[in-house]
Structure 1
Amino acid sequence: MRSTAGSTAPTGTRPEHEGQVRRFTSAERMVHRATGCLMLLCLVTAACLYIGPLALLVGRRHLMVTVHEWSGILLPLPFLLGLFSPAFRADLRRLNRFAVYDRQWLRAVRRRRTAPEARPAGKFNAGQKLYAGWIAGAVLVMMFTGLLMWFMGLLPFLSRTSAIFVHDILAWAITFVLLGHMRKALEDPEARLGMRTGYVSRSWAELRHSRWLRDE
């Protein structure tokens, strides 16, 4: 959304200043933070359950199991509450839509082209879209296998051993993917600013997400 200094904004939000653009609403940032906290709880408690030295150090296995189970069960809740936000629903539509320039972005990554014009992107680049889709699917599989372990006999034709195997392998995959996500965030202070305050500089948006500004 383009605006100039002195433009008005709804009550409870600050006006956009010259050189800034609104990237995320408060609802979107709350969904991201709540999901991140629940995911972190899942991973930390899983580590306390399955990594021997850490399990001995922390102890309280029953508490760790309870926190792990309920943080996993509640993981979709921020997403479901976010559906009440029009801005969040609009971003979901953006994440679910692959455009021609997204394929150009992926080709540029494969060919190690770093020039901004070689990597055109909308509000979310192709990498972010792939990450969002992958993590959403992974969370659903983790919840399914977790419920199978929690309620043995839920699906008698699936063994608990198989559920544990898939759950554990996918947990490691999620850990590595999340570490990559966090590394990318640490490399881009402006992106972190957008998630923290909701605003980014127009120059950054034009450089990294030029299609977004053009579409808006």
Structure 2
Amino acid sequence: MPLRADASAPKTVRLPRFSRAERWIHRTTAVLMGTCVVTAACLYLPQLAELVGRRELVVRIHEWAGIALPVPVLAGLASRAFRADLGRLNRFGAHDRRWLRAALRRDRRHASRPADKFNAGQKIYAAWIAGASLVMLGTGLLMWFTHLTPLMWRTSATFVHDWLALTIGVVLAGHIGMALADPEARRGLRTGAVDREWAEREHPLWRP
């Protein structure tokens, strides 16, 4: 005889966190950023360069992926939900400073790390990756259109581009690692909704 679900069992309450537009912006940006990182690795690591070959094609894919990288964010400005979240990411309050102090002390207690919809670490990451992407775009354009700039500019741009690319790779690896450690956060980006208990524990100041 099949078992019936207990009608008295509490149902999981889901809270809307990201709109469909925001999820597509994140996915498209992730694909473009991943393409830039993978093609860069193929261009700079001899082992991968030999394995992949077709250097000219890899260069073109890298260039156009870099050019297209700001497009999802710029197109996303048409979304009211996305603009609202950009505003949240740009606001840094007293609770964010408290979150950072707890993070530096390695204090993992949830009460010590108050957060709104985005915590202080996410805000810093978003600001840093946005600035780094703009610098990469500018230096990449200087390297691409070599006939428009003096040699010193191109040399400096290449130096900044290469070392910043390495830094971005390290930071992205940390970002992905933290995402893998939080299945509910990933579910929120995948489905647009999160568990209420998770939201109250990780983002107690957030009021959907």
Q: How does 1:19-58 map to 2 (within 5 A)?
A: 19-58=13-52
Match of 1:104 in 2: 98
Is 2:60 aligned against 1:66?
Answer: yes
Query: How well do the aligned residues superpose, as a CA RMSD in angstroms?
Result: 1.2
Match of 1:78 in 2: 72
Match of 2:85 in 1: 91
Please tell me the residue identity of whatever aligns with 1:191: A
Deviation by residue 1:149-183 (Cα, 9 ceiling, x = unmatched): 00114343742111111000000000000000000
SS at match of 1:212: coil
1:112 CA displacement: 1.3
Structure 1 segments of 4 or more deviating over 2 A? 153-159
For normalisation by structure 2, the TM-score amounts to 0.93
1:45 CA displacement: 0.7
Match of 2:165 in 1: 171
Q: How does 1:153-172 map to 2 (within 5 A)?
A: 153-156=147-150, 158-172=152-166
SS at match of 2:116: coil
Paired-residue identity, %: 61
Whole-angstrom distance in 2 between the partners of 1:61 and 1:110? 43
SS at match of 1:210: coil
- Matched residue count: 198
For normalisation by structure 1, the TM-score amounts to 0.89
- Going from structure 1 to structure 2, the CA distance change for 1:28 and 1:159 (only over 3 Å counts) comes to same
Please tell me the residue identity of whatever aligns with 2:55: R
Residue 121 of structure 2, aligned match among 121, 127, 131: 127
Structure 1, unpaired ranges of 5+: 1-16
Whole-angstrom distance in 2 between the partners of 1:171 and 1:115? 34
Residue 115 of structure 1, aligned match among 95, 109, 118: 109
Please tell me the residue identity of whatever aligns with 1:65: V
Whole-angstrom distance in 1 between the partners of 2:30 and 2:158? 23
Please tell me the residue identity of whatever aligns with 1:41: T
SS at match of 2:205: helix
1:18 CA displacement: 5.7
Please tell me the residue identity of whatever aligns with 1:55: A
1:33 CA displacement: 0.3
Structure 2, unpaired ranges of 5+: 1-10
Please tell me the residue identity of whatever aligns with 1:113: D
